[in-house]
A = this chain, B = another copy of it.
């Protein structure tokens, strides 16, 4: 257990429960165990009886904000970074990504997941929703790191005859294990890849099982124009309508991308409180398009942010993507006033934590988990600071993140990683990536 911590004289930037962002200068923030216990002024702090062993952190020229939340990720795809760029979506998937993924092993996924954790922690991220193979390896890595993870699990199994079954019992076991993990760091979702990948007969049973087990769902939705057109052709309905008709959206749902929604689909997502995960960099890089987050927000859809996998980004750096989300919304609507920094920041903090099922994280307030980061403002790119919320969304570079804490535990302190061996992880990731090379013999 950590000694009590006090951040002295720091500027706190945080959304409240309604998503309004507040700025408090000269705050004294007290942490005890896993939680924030008080946000004082200097005067109110000094009036309290001193707590022996308290460790102080000088907050001058620093901003404290919640850790960022990366709500759509394929963590181990860090190993495919810069491996296949500038290629159209279909050949990218079928000629470059799938053949490499066919070589994945548990050990390779573990190496890629650890690399993703190192990169995310350095970039001020403290929680992610992952969707990939060998999810147990990723969960193990997240626990080692002290990082919050919502992992999507595939309940479809092949029987001996090669038929696809839905393994309800296995899902129940997974839910018990993940939701009850003593760390409190793990959450689980059911992986439903998309409306286009499975046999039509699979969807209704999957939706029923999600509802019966109250299991959240993580899926891709309306990523490309082709997906929408194919769905319309196959089912006579748009993807969101088709998924709703199958019985989805009755449990908490992360719907990644949402690039091509019409008004009626926005109503469906809004009605069910589906979280739309905006992945602006990936949507541009793969040539998918630009999701209209302004329209989604006006329809009361909760929008959160994701990087997507590093093969289509090519980083896990939400500071770049926060800025891109705001800029794209303004540029595509030709209106500089839409999607302000104050509207964007909660997407990557408080709303993101809600979307992943970490309801007591994502805000700097007494009683919340101490899931926070410290950003330096005494750097040229943050000088003059101006409005601190603008500064975080438009100016901050992920390298300005000085320290990251999750549940009261340092993951990075003054740029030094505290839970992971960065050198070793980079070395092992290089080796794992080499095994995915298409010129290498399969293992």
Contact = CB atoms under 8 A, between A and B. Distances in A.
Interface of A: 78-83, 85-89, 92, 115, 118-119, 122-123, 225, 281, 283-290, 313-317, 320, 323-324, 326-328, 330-342, 378, 380-381, 383-387, 390-391, 394-395, 397-399, 422, 425-426, 429-430, 433-434
Contact of A82 (B92, B337, B387, B397): B387
Contacts of A341: 85-86
Task: Give how many copies assemble into the complex.
Answer: 2
Contact of A284 (B123, B316, B331, B378): B331
B340 A85 contact: yes
A323 B280 CA distance: 12
B337 A88 contact: yes
Nearest to A339: B86
Given A78-B383, A285-B330, A288-B331, 7 more contacts: A82-B384, A287-B334, A287-B335, A315-B381, A315-B395, A383-B429, A384-B434
Question: Most chain-B Cβ atoms within 10 A of its Cβ — which of A86, A313, A395, A430?
Answer: A86
Decide if the interface of chain A is mainly helix, strand, loop or mixed.
helix
A391 B82 contact: yes
Nearest to A320: B320
B381 A331 contact: no
Given A85-B387, A337-B88, A378-B426, A330 B395 contact: no
Nearest to A437: B384
Contacts of A290: 331-332
B336 A92 contact: yes
B383 A287 contact: no
A390 B314 contact: yes
Contacts of A391: 81-82, 314
Contacts of A314: 390-391, 394-395
A88 to B, nearest CB: 5
B380 A115 contact: yes
Nearest to A287: B336
B284 A330 contact: yes
A87 B380 contact: no
A343 to B, nearest CB: 9
B395 A397 contact: no
